Amino acid sequence: MSVTAYDINVLKAAIERHCITRHAQPVRLNSGGYSNYYCDLKGATLHPRYAKIIGELMAPVVLESDAEGVGGLAAGCIPIADAVARSALDGGHLLPTFFGRAEAKDHGPEALASMRAAATEDGSPLIRAGRRVAIVEDAVTQGGAAMQATKAAQAAGCEVVLVMTVVERHEGGGARFRELGIPFKRLFYTLEDGTLHVDADVVARAG
C-alpha cells in the first residue's frame, strides 16, 4: 500500500483535468449553494488507475481508525469503499463494505434500512450495535450526504470512527464532524477559486 508523491500528483492531475469544471456564472450545487466551479469526482473514482491510488491513500487511515467496515450512501461511496477494501486486503486486512440506498431522496436515519452489506467472517450483521465503521465520500461541500450517512449508521447502533473524503470543497463541511468529535480526513481540498491542493497529512505520509 505504498503510495509515492508521483502517485499523488497523478491523481491530483486527473481530478483537475476530469473532475473540476469552472463556470462564468455561479451554478447550483447538490448542497443547495452556488459556486463558480463544480466538482464531480466520478471521473476519478470510477477509473481503475485513479481509484487504486485513492484506495491506497485512504486504506491506512481507515485501518488506523480501527473501523470494522467502510461505506456510506450510494452512489458516491461505493467505488471508494471498494477501492479502500481492496487495498486493505492487499495488506492482509479484511474490511467489509456497505452502502445505504436513499429511496426517493430519503437520506435520513431510514436510509440504511435498505442497506446492502458484505458478509462478515462470524456471520453477524455488518451494520449492528457496537460496530465501528468509517464513512467515505467522493466530495464534501457542507457535509450533507456524509452527515446523513453518519446519522443513519449511528441510528443503527454503530460507532462512526472516521469520515473521509477525496475532496473537501472550500465551504469547510469537515468542521461539522470535528464539532461532533468525529475525526474527519481528506485527500485534497479546494479553495474558493476552485484550485485543488493536497492535504498536508497526505504529503507527510508520502514522505
What pLDDT digit, counting tens, does each position of 40-73 carry?
999 999 999 999 999 999 999 999 999 999 999 8
Q: Does domain 5-205 have CATH number 3.40.50.2020?
A: yes
Statement: residue 139 has pLDDT above 70 = yes
Of 127, 114, 165, whose CA–CA distance to 144 is shortest? 165
Rounded to whole angstroms, the Cα distance separating 193 from 22 reads 9
For the stretch 78-92, pLDDT in tens is 999 999 999 999 999
Statement: residue 180 has pLDDT above 80 = yes
Domain residue spans of the chain: 5-205
Cell of 42: 466520478
Confidence bin at 104 (pLDDT 50/70/90): very low
Query: Residue 127: is it exposed, middle or buried by C-beta count within 10 angstroms (0-12/13-18/19+)?
Result: buried
Statement: residue 100 has pLDDT above 50 = yes
Q: What pTM did the predictor assign?
A: 0.90
